[in-house]
Structure 1
Amino acid sequence: MRGAIDAEQFEELYGATVRDVLAYAHRRGAASAEDLAAEVYVVAWRRRADLPAPMLRRAWLFGVARTLLKADGREQRRDRELANELAARPEPSTDPPRSDRRASVVAAAVARLPPNDREVLQLVAWEGLSPAELAVALGVRPGTARVRLHRARQTLASDPAIRALVAEPTATVTTAIG
């Protein structure tokens, strides 16, 4: 029979099943069996109106533990993949390149940009952010980030010093800003 159980009945359920849930967590290699068991009982308390018949509650708790273990495994896998992806990225430069005259012209033009445009270009060029990552960094939608990046690039390209630099036959502006 389904129905919410009260605190006293929940304590009885806990007392009767906690050792089994802990043993299940240990056998499954949970990083912290105690934390997993605690989460299982938090879920059980929140869903106490959805608990199955008393003879099936122990099995239901194992199902909750299994679901939590799977979710934890997915989270750990995502963390490892992200760490591997970040480790594979080249180290970003902390300073803009200043190796020659072209670089100094570009650096001066970037310095003349409005602060928001300058930040957008630096996040993309120096920190290596993609437009999607730029959106996260700015706290805006991806489309908005792409528009801001486009406008910042247009503003930089319209600078007279940059226009003169681009007109030179050996100009390589992209190496100066990423």
Structure 2
Amino acid sequence: MVTPRPATPADVEELYRRHAREIHGYLCRRAGESGADLLGEVFVIALRRMNDLPAAELRRAWLFGTARRLLLAAERTTSRRRVAEHERVRVHDGRAGDASADGAPSVRAVREALASLKEPDRELIRLTEWEQLSIADAASVVGMRPGTARVRLHRARRALAAHPLLIELVQRPAEMSGRASGGTPGTGGTRRPAG
């Protein structure tokens, strides 16, 4: 059995060149502007742990796992700050912030549907759908066996497909396109010949 050689700074640089863009996208989708700072932390950890990095074919999943742990820590900190700020606003101003101002209704619907899933299932959806990780890599990131991840991912997809907000979201454009295909607006559905 051949023991893999420890990683070098050049190996970490290569990891950065190959995976920084996708890790940054993952972090920014989850943490917004903090994503760049978290990306730096991911690779600082990779440099510090050079001698402990997994085999080359597992390093991408390791980077996503490290990014996920940093995100979870940042989310806990942010959540504590939000609770404290909410309390301060409520106590001092007698009002609370509007938590529903997440942007477009479709974005809110997707966020709410995802929030209905358990955290590991949400993360499996994010990693496989948005980040395009294989089920095996996503399973490694969330710390479960690939077979378990495959079953949980299947169930999560079924739950999302049956979520009322997403069903409504999918049906709404179909209804609108059905109305729009009746002809030119303002002509009662009839087209006038050119000419």
Higher relative contact order (CA 8 A, sep 6+): 1
Name the TM-score, length of structure 1 as normaliser: 0.45
TM-score, L = length of structure 2:
0.41
Structure with the greater alpha carbon radius of gyration: 1
